[in-house]
A = this chain, B = another copy of it.
């Protein structure tokens, strides 16, 4: 019997998962998927975990359970340290290693601070469940803190949220934070007033949602303003500090800063013996093969695939990773003794969409342009469709319907698991203690400052 071909896939994102799934009928192949998390994450909905709309269990599924029945697949939970291409060996940080005949690198991207990595300390990216829960806890804590102060100015400072980057993630986050604050939280507090909540979206370009047509970009901006998001367009960030974001001509107080200004391929690739672009993407040929490595493929956000027609690199979006994953699975799934050349990968653009909030979205596919309610329904439909697993689809659909009708959110929990800092001590200068018989909350003021 012929020995099985060993395929190792690094990364269980949209691309890596599709490679393994695409090999389910390939009897001559044994595939090992390695990921540093135990779950596949449906990243497009991560912003909803960050804004208390969904629990993390609704958008993440254990990788192992997806491949439970696929007997030629194995899952390995661990972090890759390096790849020894000469010996075809993937080495893990905890001491394990895996030999491969074919390797697929699908490690994705991480936040890009464009050289200002210290900004990461005072802001949250949005790549993992940890990030999302961190953002959720900080937003909720900001409201708790604001409720303690009598001085409206202090409350305004604490209820100021800044999102940097006007791409789909930034637009979705800004809209969702504003909705959470105005429609869900404000009513639960006694002191906090809706008008004290401020959400600022900073974008360097002149309009948000760069890849869309101008008509839709303006529509999205209108929708954001309807949700009371303040836009700072054509604004560059000069500094991100603990409690503010410094723009060129303005300092915006910020209780929470969400960094959605861009991503870059994960840094670990720089340690590998690979040809990278200036931004750190792996250079691949028309079959997604890594230049100079016949048996190594790179797909998704970590690869730079230049589209033949446009001459431009494909964007770092889920559909590219998914289609490239399927393509590579097809190449690897062929019997190895056939010597037909690989078909080149062709990206079919399925269109782009972004949601701004309740009943608000934009959608563009070629000449089709939609905005508002219908675009929002289409957005919801597509996202439910692509979620893995019946249970998750149902729970997400139920949660969305429930939130839509009741204006409530299900997962407003501060568990202290992720809180970067817990509740801060009440600022003694910000509000004097009321000496005479006070009402409940006025009492909850700092002591000892008299």
Contacts and interface: CB of A to CB of B under 8 A. Distances in A.
Interface of A: 3, 6, 8, 30-32, 37-39, 55-58, 60, 62, 64-65, 68, 74-78, 91-92, 94-99, 128-130, 133, 140, 144, 147-148, 187-190, 391-392, 394-395, 398-399, 402, 406, 408, 410-418, 423-426, 428, 437-441, 443-448
B395 A391 contact: no
Contacts of A76: 147, 441, 444
A433 to B, nearest CB: 8
A6 B128 CA distance: 44
A55 B57 CA distance: 6
Q: Give how many copies assemble into the complex.
A: 2
Contact of A99 (B74, B426, B438): B438
A58 B56 contact: no
Contact of A92 (B62, B410, B444): B444
Contact of A78 (B128, B412, B413, B423): B423
A444 B446 CA distance: 57
A330 to B, nearest CB: 21
A98 B37 contact: no
B410 A440 contact: no
A30 B412 contact: no
Given A129-B413, A415-B56, A91 B447 contact: yes
Contacts of A128: 415
13 contacts: A32-B444, A38-B140, A74-B440, A78-B444, A95-B425, A95-B428, A95-B446, A97-B444, A97-B445, A391-B399, A395-B399, A395-B410, A417-B417
A417 B133 contact: yes
A65 B188 contact: yes
Given A55-B55, A78-B423, A440 B30 contact: yes
A385 B187 CA distance: 27
A412 B39 CA distance: 8
A152 to B, nearest CB: 18
Contacts of A77: 144, 414, 423
Nearest to A60: B413
A396 to B, nearest CB: 11
A443 B64 contact: no
A443 B97 contact: yes
A122 B219 CA distance: 56
